[in-house]
Amino acid sequence: MTKIGLIGTGMLGNAVGLHLLESGHELIVYNRTKEKTSELKNHSAKVVDFPKDVVSLSELVIICVKDAAAVKEVSFGHDGIVQRNHENLVVADMSTINPNETRQISKQFKESGITLLEIPVMGGPNVAIKGGLVLMASGNEEVFNRHKKVFETIAKQIFFLGQSGVAHSVKLAMNIQIAMLALAISEGITLARASSIDPETFLKILNSTYFKTGMSENKAYKMISDKFEPTFTLNNLKKDLNTINESAKSFGVTLPMSTRAEEIYQKAIENGFGDLDYTGILAYLKQATKSVDLHN
């Protein structure tokens, strides 16, 4: 079993950590807000005070924080990973960040003798808790293979994609699907309600067609019941839409729907919906379209 360091015990990191512990691994954890490590501590993880403290106790360090700025902070900041250099250390970053940033972070780690693997994932905490994520990986393949057993514990499917940056480009393309599906279902429900159609009927018909999705078959039923308990926050999806649009620009393309989606998610945040689940975009649309909403 591997001694694994985990930096970032937010919604996703906490679930990944619990599953690694349940699978018999030793876990050393750090989170900026210490209270969020208590569940892992109760399941026998060792909690440390600084990111650099994780390093000397671990063979593999997994980072799962909000964005590129946070990854840089825990990696290269005053108390970051590189401050306790450690021969043959491997860092695997699960955070969703810009592929250009990840290439730069990988280079910076290399200068300190540390290998960075990129392991962004699809699937939320409810899936991570059972080891059911889908993991996209890039970086050094030989190093990846050395720790493959740990990644196979985390994920039910793994796609090794090659050179640094590639996994994050694919992950961003995946998150376009999440943003568009949430908006499409929300607008469908909004239109159905506005024309006096029971949204459950709308979903029943949608789910009888080729156009059904995991979201329309599952989460959409919580959406029509106004249940927006977060597993992936609207704030974080907006963060990803910004990363998607910035990355697209750097690759010389523009994505009109993602650009518009970012504006809509930004408006939802400005109106106080940022801490809801990303599907709370439906609640924002309900408020934003009130003037024409005759039935709710």
Ligand X SMILES: NC(=O)c1ccc[n+]([C@@H]2O[C@H](COP(=O)([O-])OP(=O)(O)OC[C@H]3O[C@@H](n4cnc5c(N)ncnc54)[C@H](OP(=O)(O)O)[C@@H]3O)[C@@H](O)[C@H]2O)c1
Among positions 4, 5, 6, 12, the unique one binding ligand X when judged by CB under 6 A: 12
124 binds ligand X (CB under 6 A): yes
| Dihedral sign, Cα of residue 28, residue 34, residue 39, residue 41 | positive
Residue 290 carries which DSSP code?
G
- The site map against ligand X for 77-116 (x = CB under 6 A) is ------------------xx--------------------
Query: Got the DSSP string for 51-115?
Result: HHHHHTT-SEEEE--SSHHHHHHHHHSTTSGGGG--TT-EEEE-S---HHHHHHHHHHHHHTT-E
Segment contacting ligand X (CB under 6 A): 10-18, 38-46, 156-164, 208-216? 10-18
Q: What is the rounded distance in angstroms from the CA atom of residue 92 to the CA atom of residue 39? A: 22
* Of residues 32-61, those binding ligand X (CB under 6 A): 32-33, 36
Residue from 37, 153, 236, 247 touching ligand X (CB under 6 A): that is 236
60 vs 121, which CB is nearer to ligand X?
121
The interface with ligand X within residues 265-294 (CB under 6 A) comprises: none
Nearest residue to ligand X on Cβ basis: 10
Judged by CB under 6 A, the stretch of 18-26, 70-78, 181-189, 246-254 that binds ligand X is 70-78
Asked if 139 contacts 168 with a C-beta cutoff of 8 angstroms, the reply is: no
Give the nearer residue to ligand X in terms of CB position, either 146 or 222.
222
CB atoms within 10 A of CB 225: 10
Q: How far apart are CA 103 and CA 93, in angstroms?
A: 12
Nearer to ligand X, 178 or 288 (CB): 178
Whole-number Å distance between alpha carbons of 279 and 277: 5
- Asked if 131 interacts with ligand X (CB under 6 A), we say no
Of the candidates 88, 174, 182, the residue with the CA atom closest to the CA atom of residue 135: 174
Going by the DSSP 8-state scheme, the letter that residue 49 receives in this structure is S
Which has the closest alpha carbon to 104: 143, 72, 136?
72
Kindly tell me which of 181 and 194 has the beta carbon lying closer to ligand X: 181
Residue 261 touching ligand X (CB under 6 A): no
Is position 231 an interface residue for ligand X (rule: CB under 6 A)?
yes
Q: Please give the residue ranges that form the binding site for ligand X (CB under 6 A).
A: 8-13, 31-33, 36, 64-66, 69-70, 73-74, 95-96, 121, 124-125, 231-233, 236, 240
